[in-house]
Structure 1
Amino acid sequence: MMCSLFGTAVSASSNLPSYVDVVMDGQKIWFPDAQAFVDENNRTLVPVRFIAEKMGAKVGWEPETMTVPIERDDLHIVLTIGESKALVNGQEMVFDTKAITSGGRTFVPLRFVSEALGAEVKWDNPTSTVFISTKEDANTKYDEWGRLIRTTNLPTNAKDYPYILADVPNEMYEMAYPHSHPTNSKVSSVLYSTIPEFNKKNVDMWMKWLKTFGALWLNVDYKTIDDTWAQAVFATKVQSSNAELKYIRRYVDWVKENKIQIEGYLDPEPSMIYKDGFGDNFIRSKFRIKFVSFKESKDLLYDEWFPSKQIFEKGIWYEGFTDIPLSTNVGGDWGPTLKVSPSASLFYNHTIKRME
């Protein structure tokens, strides 16, 4: 059920980036760097250039006046950074929060997209997703998460999945599965059709845990990290003992000593889940990560599989796909208890490449 445009994203810590997904006409928008987010006033802000250009508009930048001109056909818009208003065909339009710059990108309130650019915008609180609609097509098919399903150019293992999404490349579908017990492992098409726990309500909970974990895990700053961060990471995981909290705290100390700063985000795909037969359910996810600062290229991430021989360049975005395990120590109706496994790793079963 859709609710207020300006819902609150999941947050386990006051320092946790409240990133949101943006889906336009059934296809998820993957921003190259700066992500849509919910600010401290619970207002959703989106990078205007990528949204506007996908809607066929041209976006400029006037540094002298700190304005952003946007043009599409007979629509002329002028945004001013730091102001909560814009000129639309010469008429002033007022919003409830200001346009800002962050990470070299201009962010505008979500209302701007609907009221100035003329799109229909909805907010889905359970999944922290913004849905932007610019057109309607009665013949298109969507999954339960509002994503467009495709039926052409299918991956070689399409039968492993309940459907194939238009905005997911075949490379992600065809990536090898993690090590598993062959007689007990199950692909997502089997999981969704035979196991009751695999329903949207449960899967939405799993995705929230994983997104919360990812937002903490891949966003680290030695200047601000503290025990609150450690406790928040620990809370996203299956807690069989307090031993892991001790290891997380050791990593916090190492972040401070090694002056580590990391930016990144993890985007799990709910239709791509694989049961390995040993008790873990792996969620295939897309990720981007940038190592901003460090003294030694060693153990930069809280991850026992962090590669010891691969050297990451500072300030460069890397992206890839990874399988993150979720598990539980509860039997019976285990759906609501599934959380991030203590063995979760970005590098256990993954692909990674330097972004150009």
Structure 2
Amino acid sequence: MKKWVSASLSLAMFFGLATGISSAQAKTPAFVSVVMDGEKIWFPDAQAFVDENSRTLVPVRFVAEKMNAKVGWEAETMTVPIERGDQRILLTIGESTAMVNGKEETFDTKAIISGGRTFVPLRFVSEVLGATVKWDDAASTALISTREGAEAKYDQWGRLIRTIDLPKNAKDYPYILADVPNEMYEMKYPHSHPDPTERKVSSELYSTIPEFKKENVDIWMSRLKAFGAVWLNADYQTIDYNWADELFANKVQLNGSELKYIKRYVDWVKENHIQMEGYLDPEPSMIYDDGFGGYHVRSKFRIKFDAFTNNERLIYDTWFPNDVAFEKGVWYEGYTDIYLSTNVGGNWGRTLKVDPQASLFRNYLMKKAG
């Protein structure tokens, strides 16, 4: 018997796009952004990522909530039925073929189960359901369109711009996005130079600094996503010094001394039996120059600690709040400013990396996820 499941259940599905990701990136894939009709999809737990076939994978809540499709699960046959209107898709776990309106079609990856969730290919499912899909390779973003928006205005990352209910400090930004709440815009700025002429808000940076162009910003955002994919995901049962090397590779390397501290944290993860998962989603239109040579990218984050012995140094972070009693198995979410810098002079546009002093908790807002 076919069982339809609601989007609130743990079944998750993912859709594939060609990305051209390198094998080094695929080792610890950063999650992929998904923008639908100009609004970014904020996934609550499992994130979009790239599989071994260089296909991007995204969660089932997207199909049920955003594409208004019915999503089911047939345990006996290990199949996932999807229906919307007169369109019918039947995907089988482990198979690269699907039944579409009773006819067999082939795609170039496989539906799988991982971490208790079901993953299936996107362009295939999205286009069958009537959407068009584009891929912004530089920004690692799937752009999905289900309707025409001739009157709407979008930014260079395909995001819908709003002109009503603006935040109090709207002038600080080049534009205001439809899918970003005012509390993220109105969050205080990090510690800054006392001379206001030294510091710059995002609107000033984009209008006056030549390095602030999409090709450079995409590189910075890619590094931040890759950094977050390592930084906020650790398991004492599997972690080793390769984790430290990977984290260090995305940071400004003034010298090699920080690597030994990261390796000490790896040892602490094993000793303290830390298991955590999370993601960092940087917003390219929200960057702040503190006047001291650092750029802070406002980012959304989500994190969950599944295991630990002591609530100490759960993250590699010198500002870790030991006065906060994190509950195990609970998702926390919020906004933070991640510090980027460079040790390159002149044309530094492609060189920004995560600063050694970057912290999730230095300038942040956080709450339990609803």
* Shorter-chain TM-score tier: over 0.9
Q: Which range moved further: 267-276 or 179-188?
A: 179-188
Task: Tell me which residue corresponds to 1:346.
Answer: 360
Instruction: Tell me the distance in 1 between the aligned counterparts of 2:52 and 2:206.
Output: 37
1:255 maps to 269
Listed as ranges, the matches of 1:168-317 within 5 Å are 168-182=180-194, 183=196, 184-317=198-331
SS state at 1:60 partner: strand
Contiguous gaps of at least 5 residues in structure 1: none
**Per-residue deviation, 1:67:** 2.5
Residue in structure 1 matched with residue 133 of structure 2 by the alignment:
121
Distance 2:43 2:240 in 1: 29
The match for 2:72 is 60
Amino acid at match of 2:355: S
Q: What TM-score do you get using the length of structure 1 for normalisation? A: 0.94
Deviation at 1:26, TM superposition (A): 1.0
Map of 2:110 onto structure 1? 98
TM superposition shift of 1:12:
5.1
Task: Give 1:332's aligned amino acid.
Answer: G
Alpha-carbon contact 1:113-1:121 (below 8 Å) kept: no
Give the corresponding residue for 2:13: none
What is the TM-score of this pair, normalised by structure 2?
0.91
Report if aligned partners of 2:30, 2:228 keep a CA contact under 8 Å in 1: no
170 and 343 in structure 1: CA distance in 2 versus 1, 3 angstrom threshold: same
How do 1:66-105 and structure 2 match up within 5 A? 66-105=78-117
Q: Secondary structure at the match of 1:269?
A: strand
Q: Distance in 2 between matches of 1:93 and 1:49?
A: 24
The answer to whether the 8 A contact 2:18-2:55 is kept is yes
User: Separation in 1 of the partners of 2:250 and 2:257?
Assistant: 15
Does residue 345 of structure 2 align to residue 331 of structure 1?
yes
Deviates more, 1:254-263 or 1:316-325: 254-263
Q: Quick one: structure 1 residues 15 and 5, their matched pair in 2 at CA, closer, same or farther if it must change by over 3 Å?
A: closer
Matched letter for residue 131 of structure 1: L
Partner of 2:57: 45
* Cα distance, 1:342 vs structure 2: 0.4
Deviations 1:43-73 (A, max 9, x none): 2222234234311212222333332222212
Structure 1 residues 171 and 146, CA gap change in structure 2 (3 angstroms): same
1:250 positional shift = 0.6
CA contact (8 A) 2:127 2:133 kept: no
Following the alignment from structure 1 to structure 2, what is the Cα–Cα distance between the partners of residues 214 and 26?
Answer: 24
Identity of aligned residues (%): 71
